[in-house]
Structure 1
Amino acid sequence: MTFADFPRIAVDPAICGGRPIVAGTRVRVSDVLEMLAAGTAPDEIVRDFPYLAHDDIRATLGYAAMMAGHPVVLAAE
């Protein structure tokens, strides 16, 4: 299943335990985000993973931004 706003992001219970991935790959959104957070340049990611495109990297960032925009409910202590 892909998302209407993020056609480059997919979720399939049979792939990577149902975690969001770059559509058509087994690369998890979290893998791309971790590489970016570690300082890896998008050009380097695309070079190391030639089946990814710069648009895929932008899609992971957009998806992460959307997910981070959801309210967080904390249990009362």
Structure 2
Amino acid sequence: MNEASLRITVNPDQCGGRPCIRGMRIRVSDVLDLLTQGLTREQIVDELPDLELEDIDAVLNSDTFRVRY
């Protein structure tokens, strides 16, 4: 398994089955929205302190964002 697949989880009973970060209720789409708004990785971790920089890297290096579009 790669790092992204360990950090990004999908549970049909959580967040409507959308990909989340490490089983938390922080969706991959939430992180992508913040990146789109221009926040840096560090600013996102400040905004969502349960996240780690590696979580954001996993979002950027995964295919899960395609689920949203």
Shorter-chain TM band: 0.7 to 0.9
Structure exhibiting the larger radius of gyration computed from Cα positions = 1
| Partner Cα separation in structure 1 for residue 40 and residue 31 of structure 2 | 11
- Quote the residue 1:38 is aligned against: 37
Equivalences for residues 1-77 of structure 1 within 5 A: 4-5=1-2, 6-63=5-62, 66-67=63-64
| Partner Cα separation in structure 2 for residue 56 and residue 49 of structure 1 | 11
| Partner Cα separation in structure 2 for residue 61 and residue 24 of structure 1 | 17
- Quote the residue 1:74 is aligned against: none
| Higher percent of residues as strand | 1
- Secondary structure in 2 matching 1:7: helix
| Higher percent of residues as helix | 2
Equivalenced residue count is 64
Q: 1:67 to 1:18 in 2, by over 3 A?
A: closer
Give the TM-score of the pair, scaled to structure 2: 0.83
Residue ranges of structure 1 left out of the alignment (5+ in a row): 70-77
For residue 23 of structure 1, report the CA deviation from its aligned partner.
1.0
Please report the RMSD computed on the Cα atoms of aligned residues, expressed in angstroms.
1.7
Determine which structure has greater relative contact order: mean sequence separation of CA pairs < 8 Å that are 6+ residues apart, divided by chain length.
2
Large movers: runs of 4+ above 4 Å: none
Give the TM-score of the pair, scaled to structure 1: 0.75
Instruction: Give the % identical residues.
Output: 42
